[in-house]
Amino acid sequence: MLSFTRTRPVKIKVPEGLLTADKLIIANNAWAAGITELARRIVPITSDMIMTAPAKTAIEKTGWTGGEGITDSQVMVDYYRVTEDSRIAFGKGGWGIAFGGSIGDDFDRNTDRAKTVEADFRRYYPELKDVAVTHDWCGPIDRTPNSLPLMGRFERQEQIIYGVGWSGNGVGPSVIGGKVLASLALGRDDRWARYPLVQKSVGLFPPEPIRYIGAHIVRTAVACKERAEIEDKKPSWLATRLSSLAPKGLEDKE
Ligand SMILES: Cc1cc2nc3c(=O)[nH]c(=O)nc-3n(C[C@H](O)[C@H](O)[C@H](O)COP(=O)(O)OP(=O)(O)OC[C@H]3O[C@@H](n4cnc5c(N)ncnc54)[C@H](O)[C@@H]3O)c2cc1C
């Protein structure tokens, strides 16, 4: 989809031509930040990942044998698991930030940020120091002010329905979101159409360039605070105060 009209029926421009539809469902994740009505309700940020070479024996020696997925309570969360072919996939959320919702190549891969992710992996698993990192990549996540998804209809154009803003926790919740979107599109009056998050207002992020500059300041503060905490040091007063402005996650990050 290149663009769409706010008319009935909706006209949708695609590279091959023009489509018309009675209803349009917007479910394009962080890319929804490019749509005027949703632009100030989402900030696209990166989640960056690395993956090691297969290392079955070395990983088993650490006692990590049950296929557990691991995550921590940082705002810039670290999350990791062992793949079926015995590699470690290790990710970190929240370093890259899009200006004005524009998602560029930097949201596919950034080797500098990958080094930061690898540094966290190496810190937690010094016993795997000989295991090489073979891949790195990243993608956008759609952070909302309160980390809860946005679902509903455009205020003045009810034929346009949206379900975005999973804030990096969307694999399970977006399946439920799909049921909600289906009920809204079909005009049903059921438990999914009445889901408590439908049409829930969560406030707006500031306009650009305040959002971009502010997000960088807050992110740097969060990184300093969390680095200090990992090193068992007391974070500075300023880093703690500025960190409190970060969108709250689903977990208690205090
Ligand atoms: C590196 C990384 C790690 C993650 N790890 C986890 C995790 O461990 N657990 C978790 O729950 N979530 C995780 N997430 C988030 C999770 O992937 C998303 O929340 C989830 O995929 C959202 O599902 P969706 O269907 O809304 O969007 P997506 O699965 O992103 O699908 C949206 C689709 O819309 C398409 N699209 C965008 N713009 C247009 C357009 N203009 N026209 C047509 N199509 C368009 C995109 O190409 C894409 O295929 C991670 C995300 C990233 C990037």
pLDDT tens profile 232-252: 999 999 999 999 888 766 555
Nearest CA to ligand 1 atom 39: 28
Q: Are residues 152 and 176 located together in one domain of the fold? A: yes
- Residue 96 has what pLDDT? 87
Contacts of 125 (CB under 8 A, 6+ apart): 62, 88
Count Cβ atoms below 10 Å from residue 2 Cβ, excluding itself.
8
155 & 36 share domain? yes
Do 123 and 55 lie in one domain? The reply is yes
**Could you tell me if residue 63 is inside a domain?**
yes
* 79-96 mean pLDDT: 94
Domain count, the chain: 2
Mean pLDDT for all residues in the chain: 93
In a domain, 245, yes or no: no
Contact 139 CB / ligand 1 (< 6 Å): yes
Ligand 1 atom, smallest distance to 166 CA: 19
Does residue 253 surpass a pLDDT of 50?
A: no
Which of 140, 171, 196 is where one domain is finished?
140
Percent of the chain scored above 70 by pLDDT? 97
Q: Residue 201: its pLDDT value, please?
A: 83
Do 51 and 134 lie in one domain? The reply is: yes
Measured between alpha carbons, how far is 211 from 204 in angstroms, rounded to an integer?
Answer: 10
Closest residue (by CA) to atom 12 of ligand 1? 169
Quickly state the pLDDT bin for 184 (edges 50, 70, 90): very high
Domain final residue pick, 140, 164, 194: 140
The response to whether residue 4 sits with its C-beta less than 6 Å from ligand 1 reads no
CATH number for the domain including 24?
Answer: 3.50.50.60
**Residue 26, domain extent:** 3-42+145-185
Residue 29 Cα to ligand 1 midpoint, Å, equals 5
183 with 108: CB under 8 angstroms? no
Average pLDDT estimate for 99-120:
93
Establish whether residue 91 lines the binding site of ligand 1, counting it when its CB lies within 6 angstroms of any ligand atom. Answer: yes
CATH number of the domain bearing residue 126: 3.30.9.10
Is residue 225 one of the residues assigned to a domain?
no
Q: Which residue's CA is minimally distant from atom 4 of ligand 1?
A: 168
pLDDT at 194 exceeding the cut of 60: yes
54 shares its domain with 36: no
The secondary structure of residue 189, as a DSSP letter, is -
Residue closest via CA to ligand 1's atom 10 equals 169
Name the band, by pLDDT with cuts 50, 70 and 90, for residue 254.
very low
| Inside any domain, residue 242 | no
Q: Which atom of ligand 1 is nearest to the CA of 142?
A: 19
249 belongs to a structural domain: no
- Asked if residue 103 belongs to a domain, the reply is yes
- Domain match, 93 and 119 both: yes
Same domain, residue pair 82 and 134:
yes
If you measure from the C-alpha of residue 50 to the centroid of ligand 1, how many angstroms do you get, rounded to a whole number? 18
Between 3-12, 62-71, 200-209, the lowest mean confidence (pLDDT) is in 200-209
Q: Are residues 85 and 133 in the same domain?
A: yes
The protein residue whose alpha carbon is closest to atom 14 in ligand 1 is 168
Cross-strand pairs, 78 = 92
Q: Is the minimum distance from the CB of 169 to ligand 1 under 6 angstroms?
A: yes
Q: How many A from CA of 141 to the centre of ligand 1?
A: 7
Quick: pLDDT tens for 146-180: 889 999 999 999 999 999 999 989 999 999 999 99
How would you list the strands of the sheet with 150-153, edge to edge? 24-26, 160-164, 150-153
* 37 shares its domain with 51: no
Residue 240 lies in a domain: no
19 and 59 housed in the same domain: no
Give the mean pLDDT of 119-126: 95
49 and 168 fall within a common domain: no
Can you tell me the mean pLDDT for 211-235? 93
Single residue among 185, 213, 247 that ends a domain in this structure: 185
Digit-coded pLDDT (tens) for 9-29: 999 999 999 999 999 999 999
88, 47, 54, 57: which is closest to 70 by C-alpha?
88
Q: Are residues 135 and 172 in the same domain?
A: no
Within a domain: 239: no
